[in-house]
Structure 1
Amino acid sequence: MTGAIKYLPARTFVAVAFAVFGFVGLIVWGEYSSWRSQVARIEADLMQTAKALVQHADDTVDMAKFPLAALITQIEQERGGPGMPAKLTQVMRRQVDTTPWLGALAVIDADGKMVATSSRIDAGAANFSDREYFVFHQSSDTLEPVLGRPLKNKLSGQWILPVTQRINNPDGSFGGVALAAFILTELTNFFQGFSLGSEGSFLLVRRDGVVLARAPFLQTLLGSSISSDDLFTTHLRQRHSGSYHFVSSIDDTQRIGGFYQSERSGMVGLAAVSQSEALATWMKGARIRWMSCFVLVAITGFLVWRWRRQIMLRRASEALLVAREAEFRLLAEGSADLIQRFNGHGIREYLSPSVREIFGVDAEAMLGTHILENLHEDDHDAVTQVMTRLREGSTRENMIVRRKRADGRQIWLETTLNRLPGGTGGTDIRIVAVTRDVTRQKNLQEELDALANTDELTQLANRRSFNIHFEDMVLQAAQQRTPLSVLMIDADRFKFFNDTYGHAAGDDCLRAIANVVRGSILRSKHLAARYGGEEFAVLLPDTNGAGALKAAENIRQRVAGLQLPHEKNPPWGYVTISIGTATFHPARGDRLTTAELFERADHALYRAKNSGRNRVAAAEQEAAMATGRPDIKSV
């Protein structure tokens, strides 16, 4: 009997020690998971920021093509004419005055002398034949705009980012260079609109590793090459976007960086934050939690020592259970996150006091409620599947769901669910869930997505968004065997409109056309986008050719009904549009790629323009005429 009395406290001590180590292990695992979640959120935010920056740079560079194209067209029209430099100067100054992001336009002849410029600073005898872009175009036949290295403007002394295009003589020989210059500080000011802390930095790099811009501004880095850095030698070879941790070669700061490479231009954006600064808030909370855990472990050790002095196993076991419950509650009540405990049926058995801050109700009111209560109905299936996996043996699950607060406001919640040891399986289990409110992060992500997919002038979808939806809709139409129609819309003689009324009036005209196009879309699945310049595109799923013609004619008539003055658009004298339509009919055996369907609509648009403008033409008309079926007509 005496030996049994001595053995029972020893068994109790081992059991309690095992529970304590398990509890500490759970805390350590929870802290590690919390740290990984925090780092993952920072990395995701940085990748989204880098993506937004690169897309902004892409859009800015792409927009430079329009003034360059207009400038070269003007040169070809005025070549050899009297007063050509004065006319070019007038055109360039008008374009620069109506384009905030454009610093200057200039034309340089084949000898490197400046023919005309929008700048009011006298170029004097300055020669630009030593510039990298001049040497490149002198030896290259390409007529596409080229993004050059950042450099200092010889006239103003400002740092600029040049976009240049070769000018050919009538015989095809080199005739000079057209230059569009962005003021680099405008680009870095946009970068600094994103908050990355006092030690954060942004970097914009060309596909070959040449540094185009940095914020904070660092002159010595501009134009240098970082192609030998890990970003280019390792990470970009594996994927076009991602994150990594590195030590900055500039200030030796340990940083977390998110990068994104444009598939369109190859430009790379890197958004980075100081690791210590980004994790400072988490570390502050972690120290408090670690101190609490240390205190709890110390208390537990003291209790275990006291319990070893007890003789009866039942009394020691009951004391141990009470102490463990007290430890759990002390930890939960000291945490800013909501800690909940569920049984195997998904019924709440415990909630920490932070439920008042997150859900807007007291813990007592939530006891006994089901995990699905007040969740968004679209998330019910996902939560049910998580609970099923936990009952079937999974020890850890994560989920992000929407829930309605007591005040009716919807919030986003990130929850980590851990299955506690013990139980026989099935519904005989206990689950601890750690929940935090991530509504702000979700809203920020949605705002960045909207910024990356919306045209700033018209507030329609931009070209990038159109291309993404176009691919998805063609695939969906092929799978569901339903028709898909495309409308390509172009403002008639819009260049003359700009030349006559100015670019500000041109912007107002484009907004008016965009409002008509937006107002003509009747279904939520339809998509209207500004494709570029004065071109618009509309995707009409579940719409056949006749429906597309009807929608196009409605848009054409409504634009004409605006009666916007356009004296250079005879015979009407007001703004008109031409529209080309094309329809994909999988049920009729059509097998088209997005490029082929778009090309059909584009050809129909040019047929409408060549037929007199202010009209609608259908790609199906050409196909019908080619097969001897003239029953398909354009409006």
Structure 2
Amino acid sequence: MNARTRPDGSLRSNRLLLFTERYQKSVLVGLIVGFGIIFGSLIGQLRADAWSRANTSGDNILHLVGQEVSQDIWRYGDTLAVLKEEIEAEAKTPLAAGKAANLSLASLSTMVDGSGDLFVFGPSGRLRERSYNFKSGLADASGQAFFTEQEHAAGSYLYVGTPEPHAATDHPFIWISRRLEAADGSFAGVVAGRFDIVKWMRLFERITLGPNSSIGLIHLNGQVMMRAPYTPAAVGRDLSGTANFERFRANPPGGSFVGTSRMSGTRQAYLYVQLPHLPMILTVALALDDIYAAWWRDAITFGAFFVGLVAVLSVMALLLSRALTLRQKSEERLRRLTDVDGLTGVYNRRRFDEALAEEWARARRAGTPLSLLLFDVDNFKKYNDLYGHQAGDGCLQQIADAAAKAAGRPGDLVARYGGEEFVVLLPATDIDIAASIAEALRQSVFAGALPHRDNADYGVVTISIGAAVAYPARDAAASAEGMVAAADRALYRAKRRGRNRVEQERHAAQPAMPPVLDDDAERLTAVAVYDGVLRRRPSAEFDDLAEMAAAIFDAPMALVSLVRQDWQSCVGRWGLSVGGFGSDLSLCAHTVASRRPVVVGDARLDPRFRENPFVTGEPFVRFYAGVPLVCERTGQRIGTVCVLDREPRPEVVPLQLHLLQGIAELAMRRFEQMAKEAAPGDSTAAASAPAAEAGPGLRRSA
């Protein structure tokens, strides 16, 4: 037997092996690229972990050091407050001169022992009393900022100054002061503390940072109060006006950013916080080199391991290329048989097609509705181009999670339809419930606030949803494919109307065709007469009649129209801008055929109209009332006067129909008058519109 006709699989296997040998280099490259992606992801995660640890460490430093610095300042502030109260009390009920101040200083100076001294200055700035933890002092404070600030202050507050050199210790210190007031509220002097900030220097130096990182304390006026690593030149340096300092002040509670250090010139991650109720900003500057130093070591280690792994894989790939090819083919077949989409974790298209057929058959047997939601991510290509495909994959995963949560009932099925499109199958669900589920899903995605700069008007990721419903048991014309097509039409309608919205179609079947009239040829001849006249007259002459008809029913929409064989021309309009539409979409064709007024309380419940696109989509007609326009000379029905509403109405008052009939007669008299005023050749002008005009959709007037 010729090898080409063998029924066994040996020939096929040989071809697979030949294919593997021919493309073994491609297989090897694919493996290397695959492991490279894994390596890159691992390295990226390690880098992210290094950044996260650095931020956590910085936050801890800010908390601990900020707490310590604040306690030091408020220890002086509280001590000065006690001293202030006792001195002001002495002024109101005087003891021996200066006795209370002496007693207060003697008892309170122990609270700041070792870190500074307490001083009492009179209103002229002359020293009244002081403690002597350090020998050097200040005899006159009249020119000092801590004194003049309190002298001109509107009330008492805690003043915290900037660093100054200490003559005795050679360490910098700061002044802290409170205002003294006389009984009448006038300025009576200052109580002040001189705090030796060498304590902060020792505190900062205990913090373990990288060799290029630093921690700093900056006054709100821009002067550096303390810095580690410590240098005398750094303390007192003015940073006001620098870019980093302005960013510190722009967000008073605190924050973080990456910038360039003015002192070291290195790129650093800044974490900062303004100390509560104090004019000081505490910063931690972590050099990026320090943050990623350990990461670089790990990257080199993993890189060496990756190179070794690539070498081993290269050898193995050369030896096992045939087996790998066969295995890949087997895995591909298994993947095709699985039900779950590998990226999003929801069902795949194959499983959806199976479920749709199963649920359609079940709905037909049980007589229940079947709803479908079809949605996709708005401007997803722009999202991928802007943020990258990995971010796009993450976006799809979040969308899939939101859909799974929104459609969480037993029996609901969420599947990835293709690309960025998803589908939700909702058994035993009517269109109202389906629309509410769709709206909840849309709001959930919008509330997720996933940034999307190129999604105009929103700035975040949004989805557009098309909803459709079918009644397989009730409507033999409906089909599963038609329901999907209806949802697809609704989806693209949502796209056209601005995205980030839900649109719906009430049924997947085609709308019922209008009735065929026995005397349609004579009727169309009569229509042609008036249509020819109207071609030379503005349609606005009938708009007032449409407005009157809408007013009678208190309805938002009304039309005066001529109904041809394949086209309905709207010659008078109120609340609508349509110039005409195909007769297959026309509700008025049924009025013309009936020869009497037609009232439809709820179009969704009427088999003639429930699948009509004007009912399932814009303008979402629920109520219709129309009377025919009857030519007095020929008795033919040339059109209608009708009113429309988006809300159903259980009943109509007979007087309303009587008045609507009167408007129809008035419209007919206007037609007759126009025909008389027209030239003899005009009244018989051909009126049939070209077949190309009778499109399936709405025709908007100019």
> TM-score scaled to structure 2, two decimals?
0.41
Report which structure shows greater RCO (CA 8 Å, sep ≥6). Answer: 1
Q: Choose 1 or 2 for highest CA Rg.
A: 2
Q: Give TM-score, length-normalised by structure 1.
A: 0.45
